[in-house]
């Protein structure tokens, strides 16, 4: 196991070390310097490409998350004619080679006479990101207890209140994971962006590729080191956010007594289970702790 981790992470460590190398050639170490980082921060083309990547990444991830979450709900909760075919088509972009998808999207944009630019790159990234978001959110829905929604509506919540105050908080980790995967895939993509980007719409991977055609300079290493640092920072912050969410019990003073005999009926499968309101108020299950409609 240690050998596997060494094989995976040693090249990354070498890249980080040589980003501080005083020599332009990455073969030998000639001293410590920050000159490559200074040159990097004064390179307008790199920051323009970084800005383009962030615009495309955030926009495509947000759109993909919304559409992918709705698709996951539709596939998980409902049965309809053609569901199997729809599911197969939805998962097709995951297995299609990127070069095939890039060429097909380019042909589509030419066919409808749409000029290439950042908007076409965003549309292309949405097209393949939806599948990944759907898979991640649907996996989260398999562990979701839908009787909590029925209990919320029995307590007087409408469908929108139930979704935003019960369903969405419980599936939020899956939705956030889908968004981050879509953002990462978008920022990392080169092939599809290469085919669908127009003049002046270079993304960061395209800019790095154009720089590497003239040789790998420590400036490329410095840029890769900064990208690695940002990814690690996002991962650490995400871990703190999700691990810091602790289940807080409801204070005793917030649990009001209910009239004797008053009960809530929740349908679970084909059976109807009798659940005293006091049990719901006491938050007997971990998921029920999010059921606060007031």
- Structure-token pair, residue 148: 């909590």
* Rounded average pLDDT over 77-106: 88
The pLDDT value given to residue 292: 46
The pLDDT value given to residue 257: 54
Highest mean pLDDT among 182-191, 235-244, 278-287: 182-191
Model confidence pLDDT, tens digit, residues 160-205? 888 888 888 888 888 988 998 999 899 889 999 999 998 878 898 8
Query: Which carries the bigger pLDDT value, residue 256 or residue 209?
Result: 209
Assess contact for 272 and 151: CB atoms under 8 A. no
Alpha helices in 163-217 (DSSP H): 168-188, 191-196, 204-212
Quote helix, strand, coil % in the chain, to nearest 5.
70, 5, 25
pLDDT for residue 274 is more than 50: no
pLDDT for residue 237 is more than 70: yes
The pLDDT value given to residue 280: 43
* pTM across the whole model: 0.74
As a residue count, the chain comes to: 294
The CATH architecture that domain 49-260 belongs to is: Orthogonal Bundle (1.10)
DSSP 73: H
Which residues, 6 or more positions from 167, have their beta carbon under 8 angstroms from its beta carbon? 144, 148, 149
- Output the 3-class SS for 21-66: ECCCCCCCCCCECCHHHHHHHCCHHHHHHHHHHHHHHHHHHHHHHH
Average pLDDT, the chain: 80
Confidence of residue 24 (pLDDT cuts 50, 70, 90): confident
Assess contact for 174 and 136: CB atoms under 8 A. yes
**For residues 258 and 71, what is the distance between their CA atoms, to the nearest angstrom?**
40
82: left (phi over 0), alpha (psi -120 to 50) or beta: left
Confidence of residue 215 (pLDDT cuts 50, 70, 90): low
Model confidence pLDDT, tens digit, residues 36-55? 888 888 888 888 888 999 99
Q: What residue ranges do the domains of the chain occupy?
A: 49-260
Query: Which carries the bigger pLDDT value, residue 61 or residue 250?
Result: 61
**For residues 224 and 19, what is the distance between their CA atoms, to the nearest angstrom?**
9
DSSP three-state, residue 198:
coil
**For residues 61 and 181, what is the distance between their CA atoms, to the nearest angstrom?**
8
pLDDT for residue 277 is more than 50: no
| 164-171 contacts, C-beta under 8 A, 24 or more apart | 165/290, 165/291, 165/292, 165/293, 166/290, 166/291, 166/293, 169/290, 170/144, 170/287, 170/290, 171/69, 171/137, 171/140, 171/141, 171/144
Model confidence pLDDT, tens digit, residues 132-147? 999 999 988 888 888 8
- Beta-sheet strands, E only, within the chain: 263-268, 271-276
Q: How many CB atoms lie within 10 A of CB 178?
A: 28
Query: Which carries the bigger pLDDT value, residue 279 or residue 38?
Result: 38
The pLDDT value given to residue 69: 93
Confidence of residue 58 (pLDDT cuts 50, 70, 90): very high
């Amino acid at each position: 196991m240690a050998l596997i981790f060494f094989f995976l992470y040693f090249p990354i460590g070498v890249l980080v070390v040589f980003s501080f190398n005083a020599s332009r050639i990455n073969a030998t170490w000639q001293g410590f310097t920050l000159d490559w980082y200074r040159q990097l921060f004064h390179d307008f083309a790199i920051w323009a490409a970084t800005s383009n990547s962030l615009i495309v990444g955030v926009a495509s991830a947000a759109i993909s998350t919304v559409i992918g979450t709705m698709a996951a709900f539709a596939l998980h909760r409902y049965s309809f004619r053609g569901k199997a075919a729809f599911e197969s088509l939805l998962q097709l972009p995951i297995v299609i080679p990127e070069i095939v998808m890039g060429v097909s999207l380019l042909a589509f944009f030419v066919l409808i006479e749409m000029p290439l630019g950042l908007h076409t790159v965003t549309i292309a990234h949405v097209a393949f990101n939806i599948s990944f978001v759907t898979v991640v959110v649907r996996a989260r829905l398999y562990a979701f207890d839908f009787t909590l929604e029925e209990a919320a509506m029995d307590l007087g919540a409408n469908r929108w209140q139930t979704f935003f105050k019960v369903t969405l908080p419980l599936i939020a980790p899956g939705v956030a994971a889908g968004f981050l995967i879509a953002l990462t895939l978008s920022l990392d993509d080169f092939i599809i962006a290469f085919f669908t980007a127009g003049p002046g719409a270079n993304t960061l991977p395209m800019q790095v590729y154009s720089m590497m055609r003239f040789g790998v300079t420590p400036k490329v290493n410095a840029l890769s080191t900064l990208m690695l640092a940002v990814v690690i920072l996002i991962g650490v912050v995400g871990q703190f956010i999700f691990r810091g969410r602790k289940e807080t019990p409801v204070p005793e003073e917030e649990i009001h007594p209910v009239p004797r005999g008053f009960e809530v009926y929740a349908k679970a499968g084909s059976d109807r289970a009798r659940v005293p309101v006091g049990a719901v108020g006491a938050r007997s299950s971990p998921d029920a702790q999010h059921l606060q409609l007031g």
